[in-house]
Amino acid sequence: MMKYSRLTKEQFEELHQEFINFLATQSITAKEWKTLKEIHPEAAEEEMDIFSDLIWEGALNNATFLENISPQQLFLFKVEGNQMKLIVVKSKNETIDITTAEGYQWLQKNFASDEVEFFTSTKLFSKERNKDIFSIIQQGAIITKGALYEFFNEIVN
């Protein structure tokens, strides 16, 4: 049973060499892989799922910052030990879409105005830190280097 989700076709293509190396660690040659896909597709799917979980586990272990940007709100997350910190930046101006370049420029100029609100919170991880992070990714967040979090963290503190 998968812990996370299967990588997309594009992600598998991007990680082609890593997948070949993974199959080699399972003692599966290119020829055997082709045969496995044809004769035992469920076994091939299982190998793809195991590889996907390994890739996700590595990415989630290394995730420090996540962002989820919607037209009116920025959700900025920072992973710290056994907890996650959140900064929400909310535009009260509904004519502005901060997912666009113009909207983001507006936010940069107006973040100190009454049209922008900030909220912060901290949440402890459950027993499964990586699953908590993965659920945020499933809701649309992406792993980042944290520039936006650091910028707004200076403002709210």
pLDDT (tens digit per residue) in 78-97 = 999 999 999 999 999 999 99
State the total domains in the chain. Answer: 2
Cβ atoms of residues 90 and 75 within 8 Å = no
The strand order across the sheet containing 116-124 reads: 116-124, 83-91, 73-80, 65-69, 142-144
In whole angstroms, give the CA distance from residue 11 to residue 19. Answer: 10
Say if residue 36 is in the same domain as residue 69: no
Residue 3 lies in a domain: no
> Nearest to residue 125, comparing CAs of 63, 50, 48?
63
Cβ-based neighbours of 136, under 8 Å, separated by 6 or more = 66, 68, 77
Q: Which range marks the domain in which residue 94 is found?
A: 65-156
pTM, two decimals, is: 0.86
- pLDDT surpassing 90 at residue 1: no
Cβ atoms of residues 121 and 86 within 8 Å = yes
Say if residue 34 is in the same domain as residue 89: no
